[in-house]
Amino acid sequence: NAGVTQTPKFRILKIGQSMTLQCTQDMNHNYMYWYRQDPGMGLKLIYYSVGAGITDKGEVPNGYNVSRSTTEDFPLRLELAAPSQTSVYFCASSLRQHRYGYTFGSGTRLTVV
């Protein structure tokens, strides 16, 4: 059971380039999330999804887009990368019930230069 898998683990982008961060889970979780983690700032929610075909903005959605065509996959798209998007990105999934918590992926470290 792989849990939540994120690719790539590391990436360097030039300003203005675009890329897609991949996230897939094999636990049949309906809920999926994208967070970014910056030093001293905790984790901020970018986008989330409560099921296939349904997505919504989180706290910091600007500069990002998502899609959820299947239960398993929740890719995050960065258009026109900016240095402010340098961060560690975490994908997570969960069941509806709070007590089960989130299962996080191991993260993607992105640097925009």
Partner 1 sequence: QQQVKQSPQSLIVQKGGISIINCAYENTAFDYFPWYQQFPGKGPALLIAIRPDVSEKKEGRFTISFNKSAKQFSLHIMDSQPGDSATYFCAAIPSGATNKLIFGTGTLLAVQP
Min CB(73)–partner 1 separation in Å: 17
Taking CB under 8 A as the criterion, the residue among 96, 110, 111, 112 binding partner 1 is 96
Binding partner 1 by CB under 8 A: which of 14, 28, 41, 62? 41
Among the residue ranges 13-21, 60-68, 69-77, 92-100, the one whose residues contact partner 1 (CB under 8 A)? 92-100
Q: How far is the CB of 82 from partner 1 (least distance, A)?
A: 22
E strands, the chain, are: 4-7, 10-13, 19-25, 31-38, 42-51, 54-57, 64-66, 76-78, 87-94, 102-104, 108-112
